[in-house]
Amino acid sequence: MGTHAGGRTGPATGAHHAVAPRPWRRRLPLLLAVLAGVVLLAVGLLVGRLTAPGTPAPAVVETTPTAPAASSSTPAASHPTLLGQVVRVDSGDEVMVRVDGADQPIAILGITAPRPAGPQRTTGECGAAAALRFADQRLSGQTVTLVPDPTVPELDDHGRRLAYVVLSSQLNFTDAALLAGVVTAETDRPLWYAPVFAREQAQAVADGVGLWGAPCRATPGRPLPAGS
């Protein structure tokens, strides 16, 4: 207790004790200094990496969709392509070809030639002689390439090789015979080039050549008239 002037007694008014600051307030300047140093260090490292000589910028790879390759109009044959020489012409759509010293009967794909009279046919079909003559003139003795079609077997039920006969001039005999009108387009098998053969026959019909003119005057899709 202390004594004020005037003799009254009151609470002691001696010197007041200072209140000690809290511990975290003492450390605040130090924490701020440390944080500032860390930030400055990080910024310095980043700037150093960006400006360091000899450091290439990261490449940006752009992905461009790849367009699918255009499909070829020529199929990949599953049977061998052979080279040989025509040693005999049996009809407008069948020949004998010597391959590696062995004779192989070939049924020419894509065409059906008129049939002559014989043991199994008492009356021949019109145009049979002309088809045989056309094939003989163009194929006998020629070196040819036997090209298979992937849609049919390598051999037929009679053991004949099924193939297109291509001359050294790159002329496909099937195309030549159809455009000349001496044969009809084969329809028994779903050949790869069937649409092409149909167009070639239609052209021969429009031109009125071979079977589609005199003397046969055949009609597409109907049996050939009798004749020779």
Region 2-8: mean pLDDT is 41
Our count of domains for the chain comes to 1
- From CA 162, how far away is CA 153, in angstroms rounded? 7
What pLDDT score does 124 carry? 93
The pTM of this model reads 0.66
What pLDDT score does 101 carry? 97
* Sign of the four-CA dihedral 171, 173, 174, 178: positive
Span 39-67, pLDDT tens digits: 544 444 444 444 444 444 433 333 333 32
Q: Which residues touch 175 (CB under 8 Å, ≥6 apart)? A: 196, 197, 200
- From CA 152, how far away is CA 122, in angstroms rounded? 31
What pLDDT score does 45 carry? 43
Written as six digits, the tokens of 163 are: 């193939």
> Between these two residues, 217 and 119, which has the higher pLDDT value?
217
Helix H or strand E segment including 178: helix 173-180
Peptide bond into 215 cis (omega under 30): yes
Classify residue 5: in a domain, yes or no: no
Region 181-205: mean pLDDT is 95
| Bridge partners (DSSP) listed for residue 85 | 98, 143
Classify residue 105: in a domain, yes or no: yes
Classify residue 143: in a domain, yes or no: yes
- Give the structural domain span for 185: 82-212
Lowest mean per-residue pLDDT among 5-9, 79-83, 118-122, 174-178: 5-9
Classify residue 188: in a domain, yes or no: yes
What pLDDT score does 32 carry? 58
Region 70-74: mean pLDDT is 42
Classify residue 135: in a domain, yes or no: yes
Residue 6 has, within 13 A of its CA and on its CB side, a CA count of 4
> Between these two residues, 42 and 69, which has the higher pLDDT value?
42
Classify residue 15: in a domain, yes or no: no
What pLDDT score does 122 carry? 81
Region 15-37: mean pLDDT is 51
pLDDT band for position 29 (cuts 50, 70, 90): low
Classify residue 207: in a domain, yes or no: yes
Classify residue 100: in a domain, yes or no: yes
What pLDDT score does 77 carry? 54
Q: Is the pLDDT of residue 15 over 90?
A: no
Span 85-126, pLDDT tens digits: 999 999 999 999 999 999 999 999 999 999 998 877 788 999
- From CA 79, how far away is CA 150, in angstroms rounded? 7
Span 129-188, pLDDT tens digits: 999 999 999 999 999 999 999 999 999 999 999 999 999 999 999 999 999 999 999 998
Residue 153 sits in a domain whose CATH number is: 2.40.50.90
